[in-house]
Structure 1
Amino acid sequence: MIARVEEKLGPIEVAVHAAAAGMSIRSASTREVDRSALDLPFALKVYSSIELSRALLPGMVARGSGALLFSSGASEANRQPYLANMGVALGAQRAYVRQLAAELDGTGVYVGLLAIGALIENSAVQQQVDAHPELIPAGLELPRIGNDELGARYWRMYTERDTVEVEIGF
């Protein structure tokens, strides 16, 4: 897919990796996480991050410019047992992005991670939570943010390039 896009439009300068899943893949608790509970979270957040990087980095490094922006969530940072399987995958993704950023320092290629600790308005997950509030533990209030705010944060990361990790909605 990337080769076809670049063939038609030219080199990709910026890529945003924002793979996500609905609440149906969540684990009920940390103790219930097993290997199969990690399959989809790792495919979405770790393996696809690595594949995107491997496809785009050779060209970006050769040009001495480019940016890879990744999205993450709150379950790794906030230790939310009802999302433990996602939290494990997000921790692995965070480690990968941090290591990649360190390795690419000085190449002209920026790597950043936006950790989103809120429901994104009009997203599938926000609609699921609104329709089924029992999906969220009692007493937990999740802030909501819009796509304009997310876009502005990504833009700032891309233009300022002063930190690898940025949090929003925490």
Structure 2
Amino acid sequence: MLGVCTPVRRAGDPAPPVGVPDPREAKAGELLFDRTIVSAGDTLFARGAGCAPGAQATLTTGGELVGQTVADQSGTFETVVQFASFEPGYRPVEARCDGEQEPLAAGIDMVLVSADTSASTTSVLLPLFLALSFLAVHYQMAARRRRRGRVRH
């Protein structure tokens, strides 16, 4: 299962919570996404309008095919967008409909949201080993000072 498409909000429906995209029908000549920021592994849906009924809609970014579908009877389309590679930053996306000269355009921001914060064995044991080594050397030096003090008396 690739994901669930966000339902379109109708007039009179309550506004979505702050930070949640406001899903709506695309207007002619418009390409919309169900979110504006994605991270690796997120499912992204595109919605567009302005194609001829039954026309093939092809979505690309930098020459890479990221989505493809057929427009419905009203010339609108909806499809999953799948990027072959994840590159943090802004990615412009174009949707071209068969027989149309001007592409529909929009963009998406790709962000990294997780980092490996787990400690490796080496990163934990090395400071511990250094601390124990320091204490051992310090203890030996203190013992030598005590022995020298006894010999002089």
Whose Rg is larger?
Answer: 2
Q: Please tell me the TM-score bracket, short chain as reference.
A: under 0.3
- TM-score, with structure 1 as normaliser: 0.21
Structure with greater proportional helix content = 1
Question: Which structure would you say has the larger RCO, counting Cα contacts within 8 Å and 6 or more residues apart?
Answer: 1
